[in-house]
């Protein structure tokens, strides 16, 4: 068995969504033992979006059973689509694999731009048509190696609304997708936070 880590290292110097504060780590020494006091937003580093993040009166992460966060995964290579969209015609080439998957990971190659200004621009995003098409499958989640399922400049977040309405989770800021085989077991367990609109996660792929 091989386990592939798909999560960025969490530290004070990570990339965050524009306008968001970076996490703060305070080293505390109390009577001979060490602790870290960590202050950060729930959508920091490699993290997961719950429906509650965008849509009112919908589920938070703690409303889902634990099996929601593990399942069969596939990766789709989108690296040639820089500055373009992930269209329905592009995705249909992978339809037979998507039908049998619970998580699809979109490999744009953008994790290589982590900690640079270029990370926020020109990554490929789904068209609304493609996002709606994906909701017909039995997907638990969509994973990305970039900052958002929508363009950073699009404050309406149409793709977020389309997939979260169908309770398809969004996993953002992943890495190491180039190391993935075509199929694997994917797991992305969030912290067990009450009313969680999102949570940092440790995303991994398990290859037998």
Domain that holds residue 68: 2-13+42-207
**Who contacts 190 (Cβ-Cβ below 8 Å, separation ≥6)?**
48, 61, 69, 196, 198, 199, 200, 201
- Tally the domains of the chain: 1
The pLDDT value given to residue 90: 97
Q: Is residue 36 part of a domain?
A: no
Q: Are strands 103-107 and 70-77 parallel, antiparallel or unpaired?
A: parallel
The pLDDT value given to residue 29: 86
Residue-wise pLDDT for 57-72, tens only, equals 999 999 999 999 999 9
Q: Is residue 24 part of a domain?
A: no
Backbone angles phi, psi at 97, to 5 degrees: -75, -40
Reduced to 3 states (helix: H, G, I; strand: E, B; else coil), residue 173 is coil
d(CA 142, CA 76): 11
Q: Is residue 31 part of a domain?
A: no
Exposure string of 100-115, with b = 16+ CB inside 10 Å and e = fewer, is ebbbbbbbbbbbebbe
Q: Is residue 23 part of a domain?
A: no
Q: Is residue 193 part of a domain?
A: yes
d(CA 168, CA 36): 33
Q: Is residue 35 part of a domain?
A: no
Residue-wise pLDDT for 189-201, tens only, equals 999 999 999 999 9
**Who contacts 83 (Cβ-Cβ below 8 Å, separation ≥6)?**
122, 124
Q: Is residue 32 part of a domain?
A: no
Largest CA distance in the chain: 62
Q: Is residue 127 part of a domain?
A: yes
The CATH number of residue 87's host domain is 3.50.30.50
pTM: 0.95
Ramachandran assignment for 79, one of left (phi > 0), alpha (psi -120 to 50 degrees), beta (any other)? alpha
Residue-wise pLDDT for 120-166, tens only, equals 999 999 999 999 999 999 999 999 999 999 999 998 999 999 999 99
């Amino acid at each position: 068995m091989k386990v592939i880590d798909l999560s960025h290292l969490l530290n004070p110097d990570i990339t965050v969504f524009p306008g968001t504060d970076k996490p703060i780590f305070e080293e505390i020494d109390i009577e001979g033992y060490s602790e870290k006091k960590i202050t950060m937003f729930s959508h920091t580093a490699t993290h997961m979006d719950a429906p509650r993040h965008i849509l009112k009166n919908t589920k938070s992460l703690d409303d889902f059973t634990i099996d929601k966060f593990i399942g069969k995964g596939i990766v789709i290579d989108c690296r040639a689509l820089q500055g373009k969209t992930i269209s329905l015609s592009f995705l249909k080439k992978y339809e037979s694999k998507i039908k049998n998957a619970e998580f699809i990971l979109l490999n744009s190659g953008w994790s290589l731009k982590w900690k640079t200004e270029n990370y926020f621009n020109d990554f490929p995003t789904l068209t609304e048509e493609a996002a709606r098409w994906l909701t017909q499958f039995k997907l638990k989640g969509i994973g990305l190696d970039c900052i958002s399922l929508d363009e950073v400049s699009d404050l309406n977040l149409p793709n977020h609304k389309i997939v979260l309405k169908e309770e398809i989770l969004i996993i953002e800021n992943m890495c190491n997708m180039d190391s993935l085989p075509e199929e694997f077991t994917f797991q992305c367990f969030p912290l067990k936070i009450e009313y969680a609109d999102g949570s940092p996660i440790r995303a991994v792929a398990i290859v037998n």
